[in-house]
Chain A
Amino acid sequence: MTITIDANEVDRRLLMDRSLAGRRAFTLPGSDVPEQSLPDSSLLREDVELPEISQLEVIRYFSVLSQLNFSIDTNFYPLGSCTMKYNPKINDELSSLPGLSDIHPLQPDETVQGAIRLMKDLQDDLGEITGLPGVSLAPLAGAQGEYAGLLVARAYHASRHDEKRTIAIVPDSAHGTNPASAAMAGLEVVTVRSDEQGNVDVENLRELVNEKTAVFMLTMPSTLGLFEPNILDITNIIHDAGGLVYADGANLNALLGLVKLGDLGVDICHSNLHKTFSTPHGGGGPGSGPVMVSSELAKFLPTPVAEQTDHGYVLSQPAMSVGSINGFHGSFSIVVRAFAYIKALGCEGLKSVSENAIIGANYIQSKLKDKYSIVADRYCMHETVLSAANQKKRGVSGLDIAKRLLDFGIHAPTMYFPLIVEEALMVEPTESESKETLDHFIAVMRQIDDEIDRSPELIFDAPHELPVKRLDEVAAVRKPVLRWSPEG
């Protein structure tokens, strides 16, 4: 019998399938204290079924797995709304410094003055950048920042005995966390339409606001990558009705030094440090989603807020705080990285970030809009939403194009979002990418469009060059296998 081994096959066996009794990757020191009696054996367990493998195998297993990933370090990753910019290596190094990575969250304030001061300085910088000076770094991700912001809005209305305000108005282009967070905050979600230019339909908004409007949630720039030209009218309409304006700052990378949200009448916003401020996405977190508010709302912020007092820096609870939304003080080592990023760029550098991000996105849009349609023929901000509607008519979907891009080593754009654009492909190049990379992307997108008529099978069957081809996601749901088991 001959066994054929495929030269390209990656060994995908799980850790438990590599386990061999007696192997070890690690030893612990022996106990240096007199032996203590163990608790009643009825409380104790036998073994925990963890793998038994050598140290080299641990390293090789995870190293080989890592090579199955696309990442910013290895690929162009124009994933819209996710701001996949360069994650500076120095930031990782600084966040793991002794004195920052090994301090306990419940140490007395006087023993962690450097850490609290760093938080305070980042709060100030974020307040300055957004024009909203009340800042809490507590939220652990954008969705938590959003929820915290909505709690602040509710607390504000409650403090005015205006508790009938239970409606959140959300544009039809909004990210899914907006309505999900609003529902968590007990708000009823009402959707406002976008007009044919991709802007909020101001007339529709006027009809929707009333004495029950708690908050209007707007992504700035919008998920279409557009700056809302009627923003001043919008914030006035909401304020006149007694509501607050919440800006989802997921797309803040377009605005650094170009405009402050607070100047536009925004009352509350959050920012994703893992987007605009370059902290790594980690394959799906950790994130950090500081919430910024006007000075009037600062007393409602979630706990804690770093403050400078006569006795030094302290972590404190705002007077009418909405409380603690997680265990400790937020994603501190992410905060460290974001602060390092701001320090490295400084005022001029941050502005240059947004300028270059906008220039790159418009360049791509201008070079592709003859092939891939855009919602409205206008300039975009830091990202452009292309539509594969023309390609769909020729039998190829946005999904197919996304999968074909992977063959060229380019990560797919964000697909099918925002929901209001047919076959949406949302492209965000970021300021980190060189013109050569953008030109390559443009060339590949044009080539794929060409392939539709020339060799469509290349697209339908894509990706060809990756560790796996398209996966059966239907089977994954119908018969879920969610963990290793001895039966395989």
Chain B
Amino acid sequence: MTASADSAASRSKSILPGILVGGAAVVSLILFAVAPDWARQWPAEQIVPLRDWVTRFFQWLANEASFGLFTVKDLTRLVSDILSGPLTITDGLLHKGFSQFGLAALPWITVVLIMGIVGYAIGGGRLGIATTLGFAYLAVFGMWPDAMKTFSLVLVTVPIAALIGLMLGILATRNQLAERVLSALFDVMQATPHLAYLGPIAIFFGFGAVPRLIATAIFAVPPMARCTILGLRTVAPEIIESGLMSGCTPRQLLWRVQLPAAQRTLLVGLNQVIMQTLAMVVIASLIGASGLGHRLLFSLQQLQMGKAIEYGVAIVVIAILLDRISQALIARNPARAPTEAEKAALLRTSVILGILLASSILVAWLVPAFRLLPKDMTFTTAPYWDQSIRWLSRTLFVYLEFFRDDVTTYILVPIRNLFLSLPWLPTCLLVATAGLLIGGWRLAVTAFLLLGFIAAIGFWVPAMMTLYLTSMAVIICVLLGLPIGICAAHRPRFTRFALALCDTLQTFPSFIYLIPVIMLFRVGDLASIIAIIAYAMVPIIRYTHLGLMRVPANTLEAGIACGCTGRQMLLKVELPQAVPEILLGLTQTITMALFMTSITALIGSRDLGQEILKALPAVDTGRGLLAGLSIAAIGITATRLIETWAVRRKRELGLA
């Protein structure tokens, strides 16, 4: 009785959107056909000259704005000076030395030992060996000074960004207004490609390591702040109550109860900060950070692919090692505090290790090769990489050429023309309708305003180009990533491989993909799309895997008990349950694809990424920033739509 009533109700519910969608489609088709010119192309004379305003505003801010006694620039330079303090120390320790005290930098052998010990202390023997070998790799492959420049920056950036993120996160949990403002700000910050920030940062903070630190922090702060908010919110209420009943003052409650109890989530945030910091290594070298990133770009410009790959690998090595260390920190849960005897043993071990380190310095002083490996003792695999990439491009191109030409002529070019001919008003309305159906009026208005903003500031055409490149890439990412994710969830042996692939693709500096892709596919849309895919496929694989792994065991058993075949299990039991996770992966993939357009612009597409790239040299802050914000607008619209749907779906499945 009730069941049939329910199903009738749900049927009428499912018909209603159907009608709406149909209606919207018809209306928009008509609109597309009959739209007047002003609704197709935002009239050139009506374009809001926001770009110029922003550019001029930044110039004014940088050069003239003042708070009476000092200018904005004085202030930012003061920040630079303060930040460069800790950097002087790490730089001195790792590669510069302290010439004023006549001290040299730590020899490589000592740093390798220290890292090995840190790895061992936190993650045990295997991690200890891994960190030792990893850092030794940097020395043996002759990248030591550059690697240490990068490492020094990472060492300073990570704690600063983590601390700022922590503070903002705490602020957000304390104050509702702050939370709303910050959360909107973080959305925008995370959806805007890094390159777009560099201009303004260079204006305010000059060139060199400090602006790099700031650029990185801008990007690494949001995940940390988000994790802090999440962590503080998810502390069991009883733990907070027990803190209160223990007589904690509000400050004691925060620092001694809530934050330590949220430790794990905070460490996840820290892990994100580390990864983001290393992801910025290459991009930041555009505004003056020396080290591995600079060398990598330099090698690419010189067509020394092999060297670039080695520098890339070095970045990946540092990233993965730091990642593993922070993961080990998260996973650490000793059964009990050390006893007095163990403490004494620990002290003895530390003394021995201290002596070991001291003697390593002594040895290095006696044998210069331990200070810095002389060039003829290092080796390189660069020529092999160069050879193999060229061999690949020679042998594969014959086959790929047809593929490339056909795909370009028959698929990509027509679709691109379609995208480029999309009129702005009907397109915005169509998206707004989708928003209305999924999430209601607010979502619809948000989507309309975000996309309308792009048209109003005159970026509609490059934005459609971006949309075209990213949608093609995202579609292929889903087509490839979904099966890989499914395989990874079903075949444990494949899991490792897939996850390692994800790690590598994500940490490997995306610049490196560009060159072989160009060699194989020539400058063109296909090359851009393929470079985007390489980077953006990671989240969809990860989340598909995660979503399938999270399907409750009893649901699976129920499926098996009902006599499902493997195929039925997948299609009817597992995938529907994993949909919310997969959708989240999709939003991440979209964001990453949008991000990559600022890098694939280096290949030569004429989209928003190109606008950012062009603005950089001309210090046209408005152009770069607004193009970045337009990318953010597309990304936010897409993710809002999908996330809203995912949340709804999750609630329907009773998983939320």
Q: Do A and B interact with each other, yes or no?
A: no
Interface residues of B, Cβ cutoff 8 Å to A: none
